[in-house]
Amino acid sequence: MNPFKYGTIVRGEYFYDRSEECKRIVSTLSGGNNIVLLAPRRYGKTSLVFRALEELESKGFTCVYFDFMPVYSRESFIEAYTRSILAKQGNWEKAVKKVGALLSGVRLGLSLDPAGTPEFRINFIDAKVNEKTLQEILELPERLASGKKKFIMVFDEFQEIVKLNGENFEGLLRSTIQRQRNVNYLFLGSRTHLLSDMFHNKNRAFYDSAMSMQLDLLPERESVAYLKKRFAESAIKIDNATAGILLNQAGNIPYYIQLLAAEVWQYSIPAPAVVSEKSIIECAGRILDLKSDYYSELFDRHSAAQKKLLKALVSGSEGIYSAGYSSKHRLSAVSTTQKALAGLIESGIVEKTGNQFIIGDPFFRLFIKNYAY
């Protein structure tokens, strides 16, 4: 079994560090405040939140994790949301009865699938979902909670709420949850700039409604220690400097660290020995090869101004709007660069961290470096 895992929520022995962040999430939520967790893509937000939820559950909170990504309409929201709340109520039959009694706009039912497993059904009474039905659904957690049994609701990929007819839904959700006494909310998502706008823009419904928490990269020292330990379990040695090279190639981003380490492990396992810099570079090259079709399509999808800017960003974004930067990278007018940059941020290719603009995927960065000229 490869000791490195990527692309899914990681837990148990696959998860390291983040204990301070976890403590902070647990204490903020159990103290009755809401959180919005902000971090660029693939920093480990969802995994951290799952870790925190385990702890909150053990303290007696009922925790409901809800992902907005698969939601495509108000009906689908209502169905999926009700289902995730019901799933925390234990026995399905009792849950359907209890929760069904609280809802007037929908009817809940159960049927048995061919394997005899109960399947939850929801029927809408009116042809079109009205505000009242939506509100009843949003009030469910508070109605099921009590002073002794508090709820924590987690909304992942929360920026996707705009799919549900934006502001109106946002406003309704905000005003409903504001009144709730026994429920706290944790918001997160992978499109940082959209999420940040929702909570920091005065004109948005969720403005100032949650404590912002910024998640940083995993500390290098912890990552090096983790890599050494996991490789050692398969009799593979890696020294500090070489582990540092691996982190560097992966842009130090948790997902890419695991991706590259998994490839290095695979490469080393037939004859476990010492990991060399050469093997890391070779493995990074293999990952690049595997992804090159996708990357070349992705690159070609952009305008000429964006391509130029992407190429420039490979070597940094210091002074991006200065004349020096522009002439060095043969960019067009500042307004063109600004527009190109806004598009790249919008599509999630470029992340703004502090004053820097970074191509989020280190392998895409490498691809552009080697491919575009």
Ligand X SMILES: Nc1ncnc2c1ncn2[C@@H]1O[C@H](COP(=O)(O)OP(=O)(O)OP(=O)(O)O)[C@@H](O)[C@H]1O
Nearer to ligand X, 39 or 366 (CB): 39
Q: Least separation, in Å, of the C-beta of 9 and ligand X?
A: 6
**Partner interacting with residue 17 (select from ligand X, Mg ion, none; CB below 5-8 Å by kind):** ligand X
Q: Least separation, in Å, of the C-beta of 37 and ligand X?
A: 9
Q: Least separation, in Å, of the C-beta of 251 and Mg ion?
A: 17
Binding residues for Mg ion (CB under 5 A):
46
Q: Is 209 helix (H, G, I), strand (E, B) or coil?
A: coil
How distant, in Å, are the alpha carbons of 23, 192, 292, 312 from that of 372?
44, 27, 12, 10
C-alpha to C-alpha distance for 13 and 327, rounded to whole angstroms: 49
**Partner interacting with residue 223 (select from Mg ion, ligand X, none; CB below 5-8 Å by kind):** none
Write out the H or E segment, with its range, that includes residue 66: strand 62-67
Q: Least separation, in Å, of the C-beta of 189 and ligand X?
A: 7
**Partner interacting with residue 150 (select from Mg ion, ligand X, none; CB below 5-8 Å by kind):** none
Amino acid at 100: G
* Closest chain position to ligand X (CB): 44
Nearer to ligand X, 62 or 159 (CB): 159
* Closest chain position to Mg ion (CB): 46
Binding residues for ligand X (CB under 6 A):
5-10, 14-18, 39, 41-47, 190, 254-255, 258
Q: Any residues with CB less than 8 A from the CB of 77 and at least 6 apart, and which? A: 68, 71, 164
Q: At what angle do helices 74-86 and 92-100 cross, to 10 degrees?
A: 130
Compute, in degrees rounded to 10, the torsion defined by CA atoms 316, 367, 45, 190. Answer: 90
Find where tokens 């918001």 sit. Answer: 187
Nearer to Mg ion, 46 or 337 (CB): 46
**Partner interacting with residue 279 (select from ligand X, Mg ion, none; CB below 5-8 Å by kind):** none
Most distant pair of Cα atoms in the chain: their distance: 69
Nearer to Mg ion, 28 or 46 (CB): 46
Nearer to ligand X, 1 or 127 (CB): 1
What tokens were used for 217?
């990269």
Write out the H or E segment, with its range, that includes residue 261: helix 254-268
Q: Which residues pair with 237 in a beta bridge?
A: 274
**Partner interacting with residue 142 (select from ligand X, Mg ion, none; CB below 5-8 Å by kind):** none
C-alpha to C-alpha distance for 358 and 352, rounded to whole angstroms: 6
Instruction: Work out the end-to-end distance of the chain between its first and last CA atoms, rounded to an integer number of angstroms.
Output: 40
Query: Do the strands 106-112 and 118-124 form a parallel or antiparallel pair, or are they unpaired?
Result: antiparallel
What tokens were used for 285?
């090259």
Please provide the DSSP assignment of 335-358 as one string. HHHHHHHHHHHHTTSEEEETTEEE
Q: Least separation, in Å, of the C-beta of 49 and ligand X?
A: 8
Nearer to ligand X, 78 or 260 (CB): 260
Nearer to ligand X, 68 or 357 (CB): 68
Q: Least separation, in Å, of the C-beta of 178 and ligand X?
A: 26
**Partner interacting with residue 9 (select from ligand X, Mg ion, none; CB below 5-8 Å by kind):** ligand X
Contact 9, 46 (CB under 8 A): yes
Q: Least separation, in Å, of the C-beta of 9 and Mg ion?
A: 8
**Partner interacting with residue 144 (select from Mg ion, ligand X, none; CB below 5-8 Å by kind):** none
Q: Least separation, in Å, of the C-beta of 75 and ligand X?
A: 25
Nearer to Mg ion, 46 or 306 (CB): 46
**Partner interacting with residue 139 (select from ligand X, Mg ion, none; CB below 5-8 Å by kind):** none
